[in-house]
Structure 1
Amino acid sequence: MNNIDFNSLFTFIIVARERNFTRAAAQLGVSQSALSHSIRRLEEKLGVRLLTRTTRGVSTTEVGERLFSNLGHLYGGIEDELKVLNDLKEKPVGTIRITAHDHAINTILWPKLSKLLPEYPELNFELSIAYEFTDIVDSRFDAGVRAGDQIAKDMIAVRISPDFKMVVVGSPVYFSTREKPKVPQDLMSHNCINLRLATYGGIYAWEFEKKGEKLNIQVTGQMIFNTSPQGLTAALDGYGLCYAPEDLVQESIIKGDLIQVLDDWSPTFPGYHLYYPSRRQSSAAFQLIVNTLRYTNQV
């Protein structure tokens, strides 16, 4: 009994539901003779007669009706679930979970993905801010976003932004009583706003580069935050120097609310990439996300 052919059981359910061999064979895509053989093999295996053929069609025996009543709804549930899975494959529905830095979410993901919401009402997003490296498979994320040089080799990576610069900025109020730093080492005498990153095991060292020379400076100051926006707010309020993506502070620089320093030492980092485990069997929803976020203005 343990080695019952479940395909034969499914065949029986269809025949019992349709009450007609011709319709059942057409639905299953097999010949009537193959269908009859499958039913006969199942009856022999079970040792009972399940169906009775008449001139008007097919009817279930008492045992057959009992089997159909108990199993029919189970197979119906399987069919419904398979239909849902097919819908997920064919049209953008369901929830896509992405983990990313808040800078990437605010400047890339949300501006692009928000435009999809009115057109695809069955599509949902979960955007989770994380500064540490996240195992997206173990944490059940569909994808993650990181700079291009931080992605594991076994991941598929799709560029979603151009390269970006990191700059040091301070407010006019801050510089009204302090000299502007001329080289990165001068930062040691300034009140710098630090960022604690779990990925780096502690306080993030500010990175600089000039003509191939690279420096990492462990700055000090009165304030430490574990996300970037609060540090930028503190810099705008005149409490210290902030190390931030250039695009994030550009408007404040143009308006005169912030002053950029050490411009010739500002490093360029690889642009953000969307990364995920495999190209195989991706849903229509996920493929839509990839195509929407893909950066197409590469030189």
Structure 2
Amino acid sequence: MLSSSDYGALRAFAAVAEESSFSRAAQTLGVSPSALSQMVRGLEDRVGARLLNRTTRSVSLTETGRMLLDRIRPAMGDLGAAVQDVRSTNGRPAGTVRVHAFRVAAELFLAPMLAQFTRDYPEIVLDVTLDDKVSDIVAGGFDVAIRLGETIERDMVAIRLGPDLRQVAVASPAYLAEHGTPSTPDDLLHHRCIRWRWPGRGAPYAWEFHEKGRWFTVAVDGPLIADSRGFGIAAAATGAGIAFAIEEAVAPYVRDGRLVPLLEAWSAPFPGFFLCYPQQRHMSPALRAFVDRLKSTS
């Protein structure tokens, strides 16, 4: 049996590991950084190994610390779920649901349901991270993610949200008047293209097109690279170049004439966004309420 001090020390260690910071973890747990540091050092003394590498600027897990975190994270998740279940028996589902979502996916599926969801479940807190990086859901401490189907690990539960998507090239009327309109995807090699980089990856994304039953890519070039699709679309609307994004994201710009779709004959549909989460023995009532609501409104 764990003593109360052992449990507190493990919880302290897990918080520091998740936040990569003693000060942020201390705020989360409601203790002082010095008290938190003492608890972690006491745990290291009891297990006889260093669990965290500390510098004046950063905190990282040692290999032993990573092994310990991997072992205790599921158990702590189960304990948290158990407490939430008890709270839920006294009323509504309660607790925190940590969500990782691609930015466009959050605009399309998450934002429209938030107002009603928060009214219906006032004791649920949605902790939402908007990031186009393909993160490990479990390692990141997330309960659920909304992302493109092609980026989902095979062992995840995946629920389709919405129809297929298409990506289209777009440019402003001013840009086209000055530089001309590309007639084929290869013509893009002679244009100023606004490129996008998957967060966490080195090379910019190569634009994908479809012709005669096959997909092919064009490695475009241009004066601007960004890790935000929205920033690239807005830049294209100013005349900075040609952007490439899903139709839903550029639709408002196209409707008001700020952007013009290009090369649509080469833009084919592909599987869109999915809600995904790890297979698990137990799903908390709060997570179940969120999943069910997103499914019903998408």
Matched with 1:157 is 158
* Deviation of 1:113 (Å): 2.9
Deviations 1:122-145 (A, max 9, x none): 111122122222111111100112
RMSD: 2.1
Specify the alignment match of 1:253 in structure 2.
254
| Residue segments in structure 2 that go unaligned for 5+ positions in a row | 2-80
Query: Once the 2 structures are TM-superposed, how far is the Cα of residue 257 of structure 1 from its aligned partner?
Result: 1.3
Offset of 1:296 from its aligned partner?
A: 7.5
Give, in angstroms, the shift of residue 283 of structure 1.
1.3
Match of 1:239 in 2: 240
1:108 maps to 2:103: no
d(CA) in 2 for partners of 1:127, 1:296: 18
What are the residue-to-residue correspondences of 1:135-214 with 2, within 5 Å? 135-198=136-199, 200-214=201-215
Deviates more, 1:226-235 or 1:244-253: 244-253
Structure 1 distance, partners of 2:135, 2:200, is 9
Moved more, 227-236 or 270-279: 270-279
TM-superposed CA distance for 1:149, in Å, is 2.6
Q: Deviations over 1:202-260 (max 9, x none)?
A: 21111111221321111111111111111011011111001011011123212211111
* CA–CA distance in structure 1, aligned partners of residues 257 and 218 of structure 2: 26
3-state SS of paired residue (2:126): strand
Other-structure match for 1:119 = 120
SS across alignment from 2:209: strand
Aligned to 2:233, what secondary structure does the other structure show?
helix
Q: Which residue of 2 aligns with 1:97?
A: 98
Task: Please tell me whether residue 87 in structure 1 is matched to residue 87 in structure 2.
Answer: yes
Counting aligned pairs with the same residue, the percent is: 34
Instruction: Assess if the C-alpha contact under 8 Å between 1:187 and 1:219 holds in 2.
Output: yes
Shift of 1:84: 4.8
Structure 1 distance, partners of 2:272, 2:88, is 30
> Do 1:208 and 1:266's aligned partners in 2 also have CA atoms closer than 8 Å?
yes
Distance 1:210 1:255 in 2: 29
Could you say which residue in structure 2 is the equivalent of 1:278?
279
How far apart, CA to CA, are the structure 1 residues paired with 2:280 and 2:138? 14
TM-score (normalised: structure 1): 0.68
- Judged with a 3 Å threshold, the aligned counterparts in structure 2 of structure 1 residues 224 and 91 are, in CA distance, closer, same or farther, namely same
Other-structure match for 1:34 = none
Distance 1:161 1:82, change over 3 A: closer
Q: Deviations over 1:14-55 (max 9, x none)?
A: xxxxxxxxxxxxxxxxxxxxxxxxxxxxxxxxxxxxxxxxxx
Query: How many angstroms apart in 1 are the aligned matches of 2:101 and 2:84?
Result: 29
Q: Give the aligned residue type for 1:284.
A: P
Shift of the alpha carbon at 1:199?
5.5
Aligned 8 A contact 2:84 2:94 in 1: no
The 3-state SS of whatever aligns with 1:121 is coil
Look up the match of 1:45.
Answer: none
Q: Distance in 2 between matches of 1:213 and 1:180?
A: 24
* C-alpha deviation, 1:179, in angstroms: 1.7
- 3-state SS, counterpart of residue 145 of structure 2: strand
Partner-residue secondary structure (3-state), 1:109: helix
Larger Rg computed on CA atoms: 1
Q: Give the AA of the match of 1:121.
A: P
SS of corresponding position for 2:119: coil
Distance change >3 Å, CA 99–CA 83, structure 1 → 2: closer
In structure 1, C-alpha distance between the alignment counterparts of 2:151 and 2:174, rounded to whole Å: 36
Per the alignment, in what secondary structure is the counterpart of residue 164 of structure 1?
coil
Provide the C-alpha distance between the structure 1 equivalents of 2:155 and 2:204, rounded to a whole number of angstroms.
28
Question: CA 1:175–1:278 in 2, change beyond 3 Å: closer, same or farther?
Answer: same
Q: For this pair of structures, how many residues does the alignment match?
A: 218
Deviates more, 1:223-232 or 1:115-124: 115-124
TM-score normalised by L of structure 2: 0.68
Residues 232-291 of structure 1 deviation map (CA, whole Å, 9 limit, x = unaligned): 110111110010110111232122111111000113221211111125311111111111
